[in-house]
């Protein structure tokens, strides 16, 4: 069992400069663990530890670091070391690095690359940001349908160490058009003398280079693939997207959805890398909008000031009613937005969804309303106030549940992102309309 690199024993080896032991321990650990270690040690120690890594492992570790640490290491290395590191990186990791670096720095690094790798990187950078083309790697094994299995196996032995994945073999025609692909195991258990075209279990799933990266991850999940071929408009095979990149995409999209749901414009980078001004700019817009929206709620309370002044106890229940309404709306909106992102239902099912949530809203509202009635009755000794707040709770929860289910669907239908719009709108509508419902029912029950 491998020991953690951030334990006191290993850190003491670093502090005591026992580089022989440190180098041996580093080589025994995976790239991810080493990258976490480099992130917590001092800068001078980071440089030394990175230089102790074998070439291939150094490239893997470098690709796991955030852009700040990557740029720091590049600045600490000589041109020859930088050239060696960049040439060892996978094409997609190299492209991601150039995409994040300042343009003048990226250009200097591009000049260090061999001609073929410089051309490869520039081609990948030519695709739109967050497109499949930016993510693909041009490293794969492609064969022809008329090739014999034994020739394919020879090709794998000769070139396999340079490719991103050997689990899948891609079959193309004379023009490079993708015909289908086959798992490697099929070649291992098939008669070496037969042609590739005779092998069964062919798959023809692919993705267009200009599609969104999230679509690649979804297709890989739907078809249970560890890599998906990327093609152009003529179905020419351009590269592949592998499972490690798909996992990164899903993590990025999940983070983006969380940020949108909190009325925050997605950062697009790690939080620790984001400068102060970016964090301010990404958050202030929605906060100003919500501030003005809350003025409406204040105006509602001001309008019913007379009712509150006559029965001061009404004010005691405002926070619990509004907060419960907001929590209810957020619950159902989260479920609906997630279902939309996972494509779990179509427009034909919208009526069934709303009908289901109306029933659930009634059950939730009845339960919570009964609890609030008991609270008002026994706490204040007033059946009228208990009934007013209990029925208000039922109405507000019912309304909030309905709104939380229908609003994301409407926003989605209007071609907007429900994750970023639903939260602020729900907050405004639940607060304002909830107060109106509460005060009108209270005036009705208390005859004020």
- When mean pLDDT is compared across 109-113, 147-151, 197-201, 202-206, the lowest value belongs to 109-113
pLDDT, tens only, 296-338: 666 766 666 666 666 666 777 788 888 888 888 888 887 887 7
- Residues in contact with 214: Cβ distance below 8 Å, sequence separation at least 6, in sequence order: 249, 250, 253
The per-residue pLDDT for 1 is: 43
Residue 421 corresponds to which tokens in the numbers above?
């719009």
- For residues 417 and 89, give the distance between their C-alpha atoms in angstroms, rounded to a whole number: 35
More confident residue, 298 or 167: 167
Q: Which CATH architecture has domain 271-446?
A: Orthogonal Bundle (1.10)
More confident residue, 190 or 98: 190
Q: What CATH number matches the domain at 8-134, 1.10.10.10, 3.30.1380.10, 1.25.60.10, 3.40.50.740?
A: 1.25.60.10
Q: What CATH number matches the domain at 141-251, 1.20.120.140, 3.40.50.720, 3.40.640.10, 3.10.580.10?
A: 3.10.580.10
Q: What mean pLDDT is predicted for residues 416-438?
A: 75
Q: What mean pLDDT is predicted for residues 438-442?
A: 82
pLDDT exceeds 90 at position 95: no
Residue 389 corresponds to which tokens in the numbers above?
């707040």
Parse the chain into domains and list their residue ranges: 8-134, 141-251, 271-446
Mean of per-residue pLDDT scores for the chain: 79
Pairing of strands 178-183, 168-172: antiparallel
pLDDT, tens only, 171-196: 999 888 899 999 888 988 889 899 99
The per-residue pLDDT for 161 is: 61
pLDDT exceeds 70 at position 345: no
How many C-beta neighbours within 10 Å does residue 200 have?
Answer: 7
Question: At 340, is the pLDDT very low, low, confident or very high (cuts 50, 70, 90)?
Answer: confident
The per-residue pLDDT for 290 is: 64
Nearest Cα to 219, choosing from 207, 236, 233, 235? 207
Encode the chain in three state secondary structure. Answer: CCCCCCCHHHHHHHHCCCHHHHHHHHHCCCHHHHHHHHHHCCHHHHHHHHHCCCHHHHHHHHHHCCHHHHHHHHHHCCHHHHHHHHHHCCHHHHHHHHHHCCHHHHHHHHCCCCHHHHHHHHHHHCCCCCEHHHHCECCCEEEECCCEHHHHHHHHHHHHHHCCCCCEEEEECCCCEEEEEEEHHHHHCCCCCCEHHHCCCCECCCEECCCEHHHHHHHHHHCCCCEEEEECCCCEEEEEEEHHHHHHHHHHHHHHHHHHHCCCCCCCCCHHHCCHHHHHHHHHHHHHHHHHHHHHHHHHHHHCHHHHHHCCHHHHCHHHHHHHHHHHHHHHHHHHHHHHHCCCCCHHHHHHHHHHHHHHHHHHHHHHHHHHHHHHHHHHCCHHHHHHHHHHHHHHHHHHHHHHHHHHHHHHHCCCCHHHHHHHHHHHHHHHHHHHHHHHHHHHHHCC
């Amino acid at each position: 069992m491998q020991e953690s690199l951030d334990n006191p024993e290993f850190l003491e080896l670093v502090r005591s400069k026992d580089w022989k032991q440190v180098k041996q321990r580093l080589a025994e650990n995976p790239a991810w663990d080493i990258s976490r270690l480099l992130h917590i040690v001092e800068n001078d120690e980071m440089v030394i530890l990175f230089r102790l890594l074998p070439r291939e492992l150094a490239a893997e570790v470098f690709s796991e670091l955030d852009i700040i640490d990557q740029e720091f290491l590049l600045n600490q290395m000589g041109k020859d070391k930088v050239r060696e590191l960049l040439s060892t990186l996978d094409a997609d990791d190299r492209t991601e690095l150039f995409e994040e670096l300042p343009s003048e720095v990226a250009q200097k690094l591009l000049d260090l690359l061999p001609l073929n790798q410089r051309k490869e990187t520039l081609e990948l950078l030519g695709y739109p940001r967050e497109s499949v083309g930016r993510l693909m790697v041009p490293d794969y094994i492609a064969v022809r349908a008329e090739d014999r299995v034994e020739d394919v196996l020879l090709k794998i032995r000769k070139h396999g160490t340079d490719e991103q994945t050997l689990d899948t073999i891609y079959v193309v025609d004379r023009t490079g058009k993708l015909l289908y692909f086959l798992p490697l195991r099929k070649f291992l258990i098939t008669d070496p003398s037969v042609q590739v075209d005779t092998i069964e279990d062919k798959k023809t799933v692919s993705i267009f280079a200009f599609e969104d990266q999230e679509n690649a991850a979804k297709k890989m999940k739907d078809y249970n693939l560890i890599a998906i071929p990327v093609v152009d408009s003529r179905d020419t095979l351009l590269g592949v997207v592998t499972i490690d990149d798909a996992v990164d995409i899903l993590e990025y999209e999940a983070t983006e959805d969380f940020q949108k749901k909190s009325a925050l414009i997605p950062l697009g980078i790690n939080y620790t890398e984001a400068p102060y001004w970016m964090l301010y700019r990404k958050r202030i817009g929605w906060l100003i909008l919500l501030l003005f929206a809350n003025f409406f709620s204040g105006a509602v309370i001001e309008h019913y000031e007379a009712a509150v002044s006559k029965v001061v106890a009404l004010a005691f229940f405002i926070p619990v009613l509004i907060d419960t309404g907001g929590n209810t709306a957020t619950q159902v909106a989260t479920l609906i937005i997630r279902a939309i992102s996972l494509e779990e239902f179509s427009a034909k099912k919208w009526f069934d969804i709303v009908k289901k949530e109306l029933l659930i809203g009634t059950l939730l509202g009845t339960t919570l309303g009964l609890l609030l009635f008991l609270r008002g009755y026994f706490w204040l000794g007033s059946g009228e106030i208990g009934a007013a707040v209990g029925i208000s709770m039922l109405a507000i929860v019912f309304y909030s549940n309905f709104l939380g289910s229908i609003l994301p669907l409407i926003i989605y239908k209007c071609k907007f992102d429900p994750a970023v719009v639903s939260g602020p709108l729900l907050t405004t509508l639940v607060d304002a309309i909830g107060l109106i419902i509460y005060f009108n029912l209270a005036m009705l029950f208390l005859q004020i």
